[in-house]
Amino acid sequence: MKKLATLRSSMPTSARLLFTLLLTIVALGITFSLTALDDSKLAGGAAIAIVIVGLSWLIGWSGQVSLGNSGFMAIGAYATAIWANHHATTPVVFTLLLATICGAAGGLVLALPSTRLRGPYLAGMTLAFSFAITPLALNFPSVTGGSGGLFLNFLSAPKWFANLFSGSQALIRANAQWSADVAIVVAAVAFFFMANLFHSRTGRAMRLIRDNDVAAELTGVNLQRTRTLAFVISAAYAGLGGSLLTLLTGSVSPQTYSLPLSILLLTLMVLGGIGTLSGAVLGGLIYSYSDNLVSLINKVTGISSASTFGANLKGIVFGVLLILTMLLAPRGLVGMGGRLLSLVKRRSAES
C-alpha cells in the first residue's frame, strides 16, 4: 500500500491526463446504454461530484470546516441564470467560467474573516453565510426573481448529435444524453485540475497546515494565504457545480440552495471518503440514485411516499448511512474498499 501511495504521488501530469481521458471515454460510452432518465440523473450527479471534490479539498486537505458550500453553489447558479437571460447566445464554456469566477470571488470575501477562525467558530461563520443566501435572493426579486426564481434555456443537443437518434423519443433521449456528456466532460476537467492540486506544492502545504500549523509556519508556509486559497478554490468548484446544475435543470430558486443542501454535501463527502477524488465520484453517484434507493425502501416496507414519514425518508436514509459509515468505515466507502482489497491480498499471499 505504501508503494501504491508513492506511485500515485509521483504520477506525472501526462499520466494523470491520460488516465482522465480513458475514464472520460468509458463514462461517455456508458451514456449510450442508459435511458434518458438515467442520463439525466448521471448529469446531476456529475455536477454534485464537482462540488463534493471542492469541499473535500477544503475539509480533507486543509482541515477547515465549511457549511456554506450551498451558498457558493447559489452564487454560481444565479450568475449563470442572470447572464443567460441577458446573453442567450453565450457559449456554455464561457458561462461556466463566469460562474466559477463568481464563486471564487464569493469564497474570497468569506475567507478573509473566516480563515482567522477555527473549529466551531469557523463552522458558525459559514453556517451564517449559508442561512443568508435565501433571504438575500428573496429580497432582490428584480435581480433574482424572488421566490419564483429564474428560468433559462437548459442544455439541448446540437442538431448533429440529435440526428444520431431516431424514434418518437429521439429528441428527449438526445437532450438527456447530451446533458450527461457535457456534465461528464466538465467534471473530468475539474477532477483533472484537482488531482494536480492534490499533488502540487499547494496541496502539500495544505496537508501540513492541517496536520500541524505550527510546523507549517516554521517551514515558511503563509497560513492565512494558504487557508484563503483553499476557501477560494472550494468556492470556485461549488460555483461551477451550481452553474452546471442550473444549466441542466433550466432554473434556479432560493429554496434549492438552502442549508439542507450543505448538510447533504457533507454527508455525501463522508460517505464517499473525505479527501479523495474517487470518494467525490461515489458521492455524486449516491446523490444520482438516492431516489431509486428510497423508492425501493418504500416498495419493500410499504411506506407511502405521501405520508409525513415517507416524505422525509430520504433524509432519514442519509442519516442512517452517515451513522453507519462513521461507525464501520470512518474513511468512507473508498477507505472500506481499500481495506477489503488489502485483506484479500494478505490472505492470497498467506495461501
pLDDT digits (tens, 9 = 90+) for 3-26: 334 334 456 888 999 999 999 999
Look at the chain and count its residues.
Answer: 351
Between 60-74, 183-197, 292-306, the lowest mean confidence (pLDDT) is in: 292-306
Say how far residue 68 (Cα) sits from the centre of its chain. 13
Between 33-42, 43-52, 203-212, 233-242, the lowest mean confidence (pLDDT) is in: 203-212
Backbone dihedral angles phi then psi of residue 180, each to the nearest 5 degrees:
-65, -40
Better-scored residue on pLDDT, 349 or 264: 264
For residue 5, the model assigns a pLDDT of 40
Q: Look at residues 313, 286, 287, 285 and name the one whose alpha carbon lies nearest to residue 299.
A: 313
Buried b (16+ CB within 10 A) or exposed e, 28-43: eeebeebebebbbbbb
Q: Per-residue confidence at 2, pLDDT binned at 50, 70, 90?
A: very low
Across the chain, where does the E strand assignment appear?
150-151, 251-252
Say how far residue 292 (Cα) sits from the centre of its chain. 20
What three-state secondary structure class fits 274? Answer: coil
Beta bridge partners of 150: 252
Beta bridge partners of 151: 251
Number of helices (H), then strands (E), in the chain: 17, 2
Q: Decide if 106 contacts 71 (C-beta within 8 A).
A: yes
Tell me the three cell numbers of residue 331.
474513511
* pLDDT 10s digits, 107-144: 999 998 887 777 778 888 888 888 888 889 999 998 99
Report how far apart, in Å, the C-alpha atoms of 39 and of each of 26, 28, 114, 223, 314 are.
14, 10, 38, 42, 21
Q: Per-residue confidence at 1, pLDDT binned at 50, 70, 90?
A: very low
Better-scored residue on pLDDT, 244 or 340: 244
| Mean pLDDT to the nearest integer, 180-187 | 97
**What is the share, in percent, of the chain residues with pLDDT greater than 90?**
51
Q: Tell me the C-alpha distance between 347 and 351, whole Å.
A: 6
Say how far residue 313 (Cα) sits from the centre of its chain. 22
For residue 295, the model assigns a pLDDT of 85
Supply the angle between the helices 119-138 and 92-114 in degrees, to the nearest 10.
Answer: 130
* pLDDT 10s digits, 277-314: 999 999 999 999 888 888 888 888 888 877 887 777 88
For residue 331, the model assigns a pLDDT of 86
Q: Tell me the C-alpha distance between 127 and 69, whole Å.
A: 9
For residue 10, the model assigns a pLDDT of 54
The single residue listed with the C-alpha cell 440526428 is 163
Q: Per-residue confidence at 73, pLDDT binned at 50, 70, 90?
A: very high
Q: Look at residues 319, 222, 310, 228 and name the one whose alpha carbon lies nearest to residue 270.
A: 319
Q: Which amino acid is at 136?
A: L
Q: Tell me the C-alpha distance between 143 and 105, whole Å.
A: 19
Q: Tell me the C-alpha distance between 104 and 87, whole Å.
A: 22
Better-scored residue on pLDDT, 1 or 273: 273
| Mean pLDDT to the nearest integer, 39-59 | 96
Q: Tell me the C-alpha distance between 349 and 265, whole Å.
A: 39
Q: Tell me the C-alpha distance between 193 and 207, whole Å.
A: 17
Supply the angle between the helices 313-328 and 259-272 in degrees, to the nearest 10.
Answer: 40
| Mean pLDDT to the nearest integer, 270-278 | 92
pTM over 0.85: yes
Q: Look at residues 178, 176, 210, 202 and name the one whose alpha carbon lies nearest to residue 35.
A: 176
Mean pLDDT of the chain: 88
Q: Decide if 257 contacts 71 (C-beta within 8 A).
A: yes
Tell me the three cell numbers of residue 140.
432582490
Better-scored residue on pLDDT, 220 or 229: 229
Q: Per-residue confidence at 163, pLDDT binned at 50, 70, 90?
A: very high
Q: Tell me the C-alpha distance between 188 and 343, whole Å.
A: 31
